[in-house]
Amino acid sequence: MSELDGVGVMVTGATSGLGAAMAAALSAAGARVVVTSRDLARAQTAAAQLGPDALGVALDVRDEDAVGAVVEEVWDRLGGLDVLVNNAGIGMLTVNPRFLTDPQPFWAVAPDGFRDVIDTKLTGAFLVARAAAPRMVAAGSGRIVNISMSEQTMTRRGFVPYGPSGAAVEALSRVMAADLADTAVTVNLLLPGGATATGMVPDDTPPEVRERLLDPAVMGPPIVWLASPRAAGVHDQRIVATEFDAALSAP
C-alpha cells in the first residue's frame, strides 16, 4: 500500500505552480486528490494527468455559495475530506506585470487589483476552511494546511497586496489553530522558503534571477508528510519546505 491510500485531499488552485506540484506528490503517494480551479476545463485536465482517482472541480474560492456547494460535493464524492490544502492565490502580475524590475508604491495599486488578490488568497482560505472545518470536527478528524510565503516577501518593497495577503493568511492560520485546539482537526502553515519557478514570475525575469528560483516540487515531501500518519498531532506549526529534510532528521 502507498502511504496515503484512502486519504482524500482537496488542493485549491492546483492546476499550476505550487498547487500542481503538491497535487502530484499527494497523488503519487496514493491520495485521492481533488484539484480545483476557477476554470473547469483546466481542473479536469490537471486531474486527468494525475490519474483516474483524481477529480477536477471548478471553484472560485471568493464565492461563498460556490465554496459551500463544492465542499459538500467533494465530501459526498470522497466519503469525507481528510486534508484541505488552501493554496489558491494570484500574484503580483495582476497588479504590476514588472513588479520585480519596476516595483510600484502601494498608492499606485488599483483598488480592484488589491481586492482581487486579498479576496483570493485570504478570503478564499477563510471561506473554504469555514465550510470544511465543521464537517471535519463532526467527523472527528481532519487536517488543514494553509500555504504561505516568506516573511521577506510579506514586507518587500512594491509587494502590495501580495505580501500583506500572505501575512494575513499566517494570522488567520494561528487563529484557526487556536479555535480548533480542543478538537481532532489540525491546522498548519507550509511555505516554499523562497521564490519559486511558477507562472507568478514575469516572463522578462533576468536569467540570473531565474537560476535561483526554487522548483515547485520542493513542496512535495512536506505536504505528503502533513497528510500522512507520521504527522498525526502536528498542529499550529510553520513548516518551511527548503528546511524540511533537515528538520525531520534533527534529533
Residues with catalytic roles: 162
Report the distance separating Cα 86 and Cα 150, nearest Å: 16
Report the distance separating Cα 201 and Cα 223, nearest Å: 23
In this structure, is the dihedral angle defined by the CA atoms of residues 120, 121, 123 and 127, taken in order, positive or negative?
A: positive
86 neighbors 125 (Cβ within 8 angstroms)? yes
SS3 145: strand
SS3 112: helix
E-strand ranges in 81-154 read 83-86, 142-147
